[in-house]
Amino acid sequence: MGLSKISNEDLDKEKEILNQLFRYSDKFESAVFNSGAGSGKTFALVECLKYIVEKNRDRLKDHNQKIACITYTNVAANNIKEQIGASDIVDITTIHDRIWHIISGQQSALLSLHIEKLDNEVEELDEQLLNNSDYEKYRELNKDLQEHFFQLMLKNKNIYNKAYHLKAKEFKDAMPVEIREDYATLISNVSKFKGLVDKLFKKKRDLDCLEKIIKGEKGYKEVSYDPMYNRDRLDKMRISHDTLLEYGFTLIQKYPKMRQIVIDSYPYILIDEYQDTANIVVKIMNSIEQYAKEIKHDIFIAYFGDSLQNIYDTGVGTKLKQLHPNLATVTKLYNRRSYTEVIDVANKVRNDEIHQKSIYSDSQGGSVKLYSGNQAVVSKFIDLCVKQWDIDMKNPLHCLFATNQMVADYSGFSNVYMAFKNAGVYQGIGYKQLNTELLSHDIIRLGKVQSLLYRLIKVYTEVKEKKQALRDILPTVEFRNMSFVDLKNLIIMLQSLKGNTLDELLVDMLGKYKMSSDKTYKLIIEKIFDIDEISYEGVLKYFLNSLYDSYNEEMETKQIIGEILNLKITEILCWFHYVNRDENKEIYYHTFHSTKGLEYENVIIILGKDFGQDKGLFELFFKEYGKDIVQDLPKHERYERGRNILYVVVTRAIRNLRILYIDDLDGIKDNMEKIFGKVEAFSI
């Protein structure tokens, strides 16, 4: 058993690194704590928090001041909260929560920013309508005709929305005759037509909103932030994540008083995973620090992270020091996670000045190897590792893939993924919502149909598995008042539910709902479906409306949503277990990105030359490895992108790591071997 012995000397050295950081906090010299994967960054942050609290508790309390700890996710915030314990002088939240907490009270200032943003949006729309070549035909109409067209569209808004996602031919047919005939030139190109109408409608909504704000109408006096939406709805007085940061930044730039409030409330600001936070956040921090210096107030801002682990395009990454100059640097080179063999490879992937070293003196015993193969051998490859590493539930294997599609395929629910991918609402721009609404581990984020399926499968499996207390399924009051016989009958009824496909299960469940007089059964079904019309037809209608906002009226409902209805219950179960993050498995499948921050004993990475749309991303990394390409900026940026992702996945492994490269090795084999050692072909 390795990774257990640490010499006193190394422990002291590690402590000294932390002390450096503490001293900067004493001197109010803002700093960045840089260190690679598995070095204990969060540990350092937590220790730093504790140190500042211990040392300054009374002073902070007297001045009614706090320490702000900013995390990237709510999960991270809760994690740190658990480690710190309850504290009345530390505020641990995401940046969005913190900023909203600070600015939400300044509604009059927010309102003027909001008016400005609406004005800008209207201006931009006008600019488009005036200059974009797509709308030339519209500009050729005289003002009266333009207005007439607009009024006509407004009158037919519902028809327009309903037909929106239909194919061009069907869309045209669905539109009223007047439009097809009187404005034939506009509708001859459907996509330009939609672009035009969308802009006209948007402009109207914005102008209406501005008017209501000025009139001071109810609901138009305050701006709200809704973290559940990914897009602004300015006309509904609702902003989303990016605009929240933007408003925060602007307020802080515009009003010295706002800066003063922050400085007075939070003389210490610690930022976790800085590489992921948006540029604008760093700009806010920098502007706060500059102002503090101006007015001769003390402030300590510390960034914790690793620029190489920036795998989201929006993160600040290496730009930190440009946006926030003059930061002191503390670097930690010890690794507390992995065996030496893994650390060595990770160092080579990084290929920079950070050469990690295990803090343990017994750190030998890991194993890293890269094989070449193809798509067809992936399963066999996994099987082999399972045997070699004695994989079982206590010593599970974690397989990492680039895309959710691959994860779905190997986790046994590829048809579920496909069926939802093909649904109307996820076509076009909606495809971005697919993964959130289908694969989110946070149940609240699942789409309507997905969430219904989740509830349905939950009851279905829990009853079958018998281990589940019915208490969780039943509304408590009804449960308590039931007689033993009734309860027994209910369980029998629930356990008798059957069906190979979703369709069959729905027929059975809702058929019994119709026939049965068992009140509790009815209640359970009502809770699961939670829709107005609880019947087979009602559910189909709900599916249709939730998954397709446009559909050809002549087609049968069952035909349109057939792909969903025909899903096998066994596959939906696989999906359910994935969403639920159910454990007790031998093999777990993840996307590269979702494993960030986690660690596993045994890791397999399935790697190809591409990363989705970014064709040849990983191939480029291997091809250009060790070469000086800084002057070719686009190439260098892609190189870094590939490298960062690869670095993150490689460093998830504690002991055993295998990479299966499933594309051609031409021109990259030599560099691959520089990193991973001898490459072997894997075939069956």
Number of residues engaging DNA in binding (CB under 7 A):
47
Sequence letter at residue 86: A
Sequence letter at residue 635: K
| Alpha carbon separation from 584 to 81, 144, 389, 396, 414 (Å, rounded) | 28, 69, 17, 9, 21
Considering only residues 321, 593, 635, 636, which one is a binding residue for DNA as defined by CB under 7 A? 593
User: What does the block give as tokens for 478?
Assistant: 């009804």
Nearest-angstrom CA–CA distance, 76 and 66: 19
- Interaction between residue 594 and DNA (CB under 7 A): yes
Binding piece for DNA, criterion CB under 7 A, among 111-119, 367-375, 501-509, 589-597: 589-597
Sequence letter at residue 216: G
Q: What is the per-residue binding string for DNA in 214-233, x denoting contact by CB under 7 A?
A: -------------x--x---
Q: What is the CA radius of gyration of the chain?
A: 29
Of residues 144, 127, 143, the one with CA closest to residue 135: 127
CB of 576 to DNA, least distance (A): 18
CB of 173 to DNA, least distance (A): 11
Hey, which residues between 312 and 341 contact DNA (CB under 7 A)?
A: 312-314
CB of 613 to DNA, least distance (A): 4
455-490 burial: b if 16+ Cβ within 10 Å, else e = bbbbbbbbbeeeeeebeebbeeeebeebeeeeeebb
Under DSSP, is residue 650 helix (H, G, I), strand (E, B) or coil? helix
CB of 87 to DNA, least distance (A): 21
- Interaction between residue 189 and DNA (CB under 7 A): yes
Give the position of tokens 């929106």.
164
Which ranges constitute the DSSP H helices of 651-682?
Answer: 669-676
Considering only residues 146, 427, 535, 566, which one is a binding residue for DNA as defined by CB under 7 A? 427
Hey, which residues between 512 and 551 contact DNA (CB under 7 A)?
A: none
Hey, which residues between 58 and 97 contact DNA (CB under 7 A)?
A: 72-75, 94-97
Nearest-angstrom CA–CA distance, 162 and 160: 5
Binding piece for DNA, criterion CB under 7 A, among 267-275, 553-561, 576-584, 606-614: 606-614
Hey, which residues between 385 and 414 contact DNA (CB under 7 A)?
A: 402-405
Binding piece for DNA, criterion CB under 7 A, among 47-55, 282-290, 426-434, 555-563: 426-434
Minimum CB distance to DNA smaller for 195 or for 499 = 195
CB of 169 to DNA, least distance (A): 6
Structural element, H or E, at residue 9: helix 8-27
| Alpha carbon separation from 473 to 217, 237, 458, 493 (Å, rounded) | 44, 38, 9, 14
Binding piece for DNA, criterion CB under 7 A, among 511-519, 608-616, 624-632, 659-667: 608-616
CA atoms within 13 A on the CB side of 198: 9
Considering only residues 8, 58, 169, 485, which one is a binding residue for DNA as defined by CB under 7 A? 169
Binding piece for DNA, criterion CB under 7 A, among 20-28, 200-208, 305-313, 661-669: 305-313
Nearest-angstrom CA–CA distance, 509 and 453: 13
- Interaction between residue 451 and DNA (CB under 7 A): no
Considering only residues 374, 436, 489, 516, which one is a binding residue for DNA as defined by CB under 7 A? 436
Sequence letter at residue 583: E
Strand partners, 19: none
For DNA, the binding residues (CB under 7 A) are 72-75, 94-97, 167-169, 172, 188-192, 227, 230, 241-242, 311-314, 402-405, 427-429, 431-432, 435-436, 439-440, 442, 591-594, 611-614
